Amino acid sequence: MADADAAKMRQLLEGMRAAFFRGDNAMEYARSFLGRDDNLLIATQIAYDLQAGSYVKLARANPEGKARWVSQIADLLSPHLQESGGSVLEVGVGEATTLSGVLAHLSLPQISAFGFDISWSRCAHGLGWLKQMGQCAELFVADLFHIPLADSSIDIVYTSHSLEPNGGRELEAIRELLRVARRFVVLIEPIYELGSAAAQARMRSHGYVRNLKKSAEDLGCVILDYRLLDYCFNPLNPSGVLLLEKLHEQNPSQTVWRCPLTHAPLDFIEGVFAARETGLIYPIVGGIPLLCRNNAILASSYGTKISES
Ligand SMILES: C[S@@+](CC[C@H](N)C(=O)[O-])C[C@H]1O[C@@H](n2cnc3c(N)ncnc32)[C@H](O)[C@@H]1O
């Protein structure tokens, strides 16, 4: 978890939990408790972790809606994937209900799928959902501002409403996604500028992202598509697409996993991810690698023979 004063952290956790179990908006509670208009990462992490399990329930309750949603995304990705497959990463994968539907629609046997989320509980539900669907993807806990993957290591990096709560950090987010992508970044996010006045007011009050297109332009991106999508779950949260092509296609990096603090290569050694060059290791809990910066453990002796005499 992010650093915070212990007493304040406890109050935040207890307050957000109480708000959630009362049926109130936990993020709204956090913004008011912290006296901020934006959403701190810790608040996003707590709020989404509390909701874990809800997306699997939704996917079961509204299979038609889910099918329309994922087919829209798959149709955007498929022209940019080769028949031979390739790799895709869903940033802020939640419970993998979107990723699983997208993979089913793409139906490419050779695809390598990755997904990460700031919430461990959501990844855990995601692993369960993928297992039920008979699908396979590497799920891990990470922060989208410090992705533990090498530069240009994933063909297509996409989002499905995960930049959404990170209002004010649009440029940083797009820059990090572009770093990891080899060819394309596909943002499926609420588009403030194309929304109605009511949608814009709601997005402002929730601390949601704005100016995504302007941020991409400021980064010198080639924009291939920018529009609202035909289908969205909530017109007050108008889903759109911003499709970015990486200017100079890069050769894929050899080692995919990287330390989110130092970018040193990470190897899977004796049940953890370890950076031999720095002595930092990252644990794996319940089969899910924890790859946020604050999950790092300095353990230079890990994996070496320790004498018991
Ligand atoms: C609206 S949900 C969408 C989940 C999923 N993409 C889907 O389509 O079902 C947004 C997700 O983004 C994740 N998220 C938000 N900010 C994040 C960050 N900085 N790093 C990683 N995940 C983040 C949240 O934990 C949450 O699971």
The alpha carbon of residue 29 and the mean position of all alpha carbons in its chain are separated, in whole angstroms, by 23
Given a cut of 90, whether residue 271 has pLDDT beyond it is yes
Atom 27 in ligand 1: residue holding the nearest Cα = 94
Q: Is 198 exposed, middle or buried (0-12, 13-18, 19+ CB in 10 A)?
A: exposed
Average of per-residue pLDDT across 71-88: 90
Read off the pTM.
0.96
Rounded CA separation 106/169 (Å)? 31
| Ligand 1 pocket member 239 (CB < 6 A) | no
CA of 48 to the centre of ligand 1 (A): 8
Average of per-residue pLDDT across 292-307: 92
Average of per-residue pLDDT across 239-257: 82
Residue type, 213: K
Strands, sheet with 86-91, edge to edge from the N-terminal-most edge strand: 138-141, 111-117, 86-91, 154-160, 181-190, 239-245, 222-228
Given a cut of 60, whether residue 3 has pLDDT beyond it is no
Using DSSP, state whether 195 is helix, strand or coil.
coil
| Ligand 1 pocket member 48 (CB < 6 A) | yes
Rounded CA separation 21/58 (Å)? 18
User: What is the per-residue pLDDT for 306?
Assistant: 82
Kindly indicate the confidence band of residue 309, based on its pLDDT and cuts at 50, 70 and 90: low
Kindly indicate the confidence band of residue 9, based on its pLDDT and cuts at 50, 70 and 90: very high
Closest atom of ligand 1 to 173 CA is 19
Closest atom of ligand 1 to 69 CA is 8
Given a cut of 80, whether residue 123 has pLDDT beyond it is yes
Number of residues that this document lists for the chain: 309
